[in-house]
Amino acid sequence: MSLVGEERKTFIMDLLNLEGQVKTFDLVHRLDVSSETIRRYLEELENENRLKRVYGGAVKINLNGGEPSYLKREVLNAEVKKLIGKAAVSLVEDNDVIFIDDGTTPLQMIHFLMNRSNLTVLTMSMPALHLLIEYKNKELFSGEIYLIGGKVNATHSRVTGSIAEKMVSLFNPNKAFISIDGITLNKGVTAFDPDRGQLANRVIENSKQTIIMTDDTKIGLTQLYRMADWRDIDVVISNAALPKGWESTLNDNDVTWIKAE
C-alpha cells in the first residue's frame, strides 16, 4: 500500500478506532513500510495525543481515564486471553487452592481446569462464579467454589470493599492469578480501581505464589493504584516476550516470565 505519511497515519487511526489497538508488525505488512517508519508514525500520533504507545504497538487513549466495563473488556483480545489462560493452568496442580480474580484473562483459565481434580477456587468475579457453577453442574469441574463476599460493583461484575478484604484474609491460597491494568519496570503492576487494587494486595499477601496475567497492551502502562512491586510477584504470563532491559530486575526479584504460545 503506497500512501503518503498523513494518509498512513489516518489509516492507522481508522484501524485503531475499529479494533481498539494496533500492532507494529501488522502495520508493517498492511502499509508495506519498515518497522522504524511505523514507530515514527506512532510516536507522532502519541505526541498529538491521538493514541498511547505500548509494547509492540499502540492502544486507544482512554478519554474517561477509568477502567472499561466488564462487557467492553470481555471482547478485547479474546484469543490472546485464551492463550494466556491456558498457559496459566499449566501451573495448577491437583488439590491446589487457587484465587482467580475478576479479570477477563484469568476467567479463561476456567475452561481448561477440567483435567485438574480436587481444586478449591476462590473468586470475587461474578462471571467466574457463574462459569464454575455451570461446569460443576455438568461434572466438568471437580472441587469447591468460594465466592468472596462484599460490595458488588455491577459495572465490573466483581466484589470489593472492606468486607471482601476481611474474607480474603481468612484464606491462604497456594496460587493467586491476578490480572492487571498496567505493568512497568519502575512501578511494578498497577490497577485503575484502588478498591480492586487493595483487595489484590490482601490476596497477594496471603498467597504462597502470585501469578500476574497480562496481554501485551498493558506493558509499559502505569495506572492509578500500585497493586504490587516486583518483589511481591513470582510469575508473569503474557503473550509478549520479556521486554528488553527487564531481565536484570526480574532476576534480582526471582520473577519468572512465561511467554504463552
pLDDT 10s digits, 13-65: 888 877 777 889 999 999 989 999 999 999 999 888 888 887 788 887 765 45
What are 85-118's pLDDT values in tens digits?
999 999 999 999 999 999 999 999 999 999 999 9
Please tell me the predicted confidence (pLDDT) of residue 145: 98
Considering the chain, what is the average pLDDT of its residues? 89
Please tell me the predicted confidence (pLDDT) of residue 71: 47
What value does the mean pLDDT take over residues 128-154? Answer: 94
> How, if at all, do strands 119-123 and 97-100 pair?
parallel
Residue type (1 letter), 49: N
Q: How far is CA 155 from the centre of its chain?
A: 18
The Cα 10–Cα 212 span in angstroms is 35
Task: Show the domains of the chain with their CATH numbers.
Answer: 5-59 (1.10.10.10), 70-259 (3.40.50.1360)
Please tell me the predicted confidence (pLDDT) of residue 4: 79
Please tell me the predicted confidence (pLDDT) of residue 130: 95
Describe the crossing of helices 5-19 and 35-47 by its angle, rounded to 10 degrees: 80
Q: How far is CA 222 from the centre of its chain?
A: 13
Is residue 195 a contact partner of residue 224, using CB atoms and an 8 Å limit? no
Is residue 225 a contact partner of residue 187, using CB atoms and an 8 Å limit? no
Please tell me what DSSP assigns to residue 155.
Answer: T
Grid cell listed for 98:
487457587
